[in-house]
Structure 1
């Protein structure tokens, strides 16, 4: 299996943060880059996360709140968190109700920075 540094970042996030179940990296237009999923459909995650990110960016801009960092959706069964990765990428994280949200935010910041570097280098994986 070829070395995939983006997938390694996703797996590391799952290992570091209690409650993270699945994740995906996609472009802001919803195209899947790579995913660490077991049951979720990564193409669907990518498309919905792109729409979520777009709405969050637009809302933040309208409210004058500056650049979007993340959108957090809490449901009865868990969370969906979408992080902006630079201007052209996103990280979608699916987590259960036991998610340590504060820990996720702390661990995601360096992950997002590393993902941004990988995406801007044009890494095909």
Structure 2
């Protein structure tokens, strides 16, 4: 049930934001929870996103910038955005060159809150 709820959030985000091509939710240690991907290997995406999140958190702490919200990587053919989902999860979104980054940030914040509640609820006994 949790996986289906997370997948529905990913599909909604993908349908609402221009340029989103793939998305996944994982734990901070890189264990995949759910993915809405076409040609990307979801397990590899989850692991690499966890590494990016960890590096971003460490850097933010080191320079005193506060709690990490997201890591944005811009590549030749698009964007990779990793959002912290509370303390134990992450949302990674891939977008093509036409990604509406402002729209993604606007739509992702409520999605991150909902995903955090879903993941936290799943961890409860």
Whether the TM-score (by the shorter chain) exceeds 0.5 is yes
What is the aligned residue count?
123
Deviations 1:56-78 (A, max 9, x none): 00000011000000000000000
Which residue is equivalent to 2:52? 52
1:78 aligns to 2:63 (yes or no): no
TM-score scaled by structure 2?
0.95
The Cα of 1:3 is off from its aligned counterpart by 7.7
3-state DSSP of counterpart to 2:122: coil
Tell me by how many angstroms 1:16 deviates.
0.6
User: Which runs of no fewer than 5 residues in structure 2 stay unpaired?
Assistant: none
Aligned equivalent of 1:26: 26
Residues 3 and 83 of structure 1: CA distance in aligned 2, closer, same or farther (over 3 Å): closer
Q: TM-score, normalised by structure 1?
A: 0.95
Higher percent of residues as helix: 2
* Runs of 4+ residues over 6 Å off in structure 1: none
Q: Deviations over 1:39-94 (max 9, x none)?
A: 10000000000000000000000110000000000000000000000100000001
Matched, 1:66 2:72: no
Quote the RMSD (CA, aligned, Å).
1.5
Stretches of structure 1 that go unaligned for 5 or more consecutive residues are: none
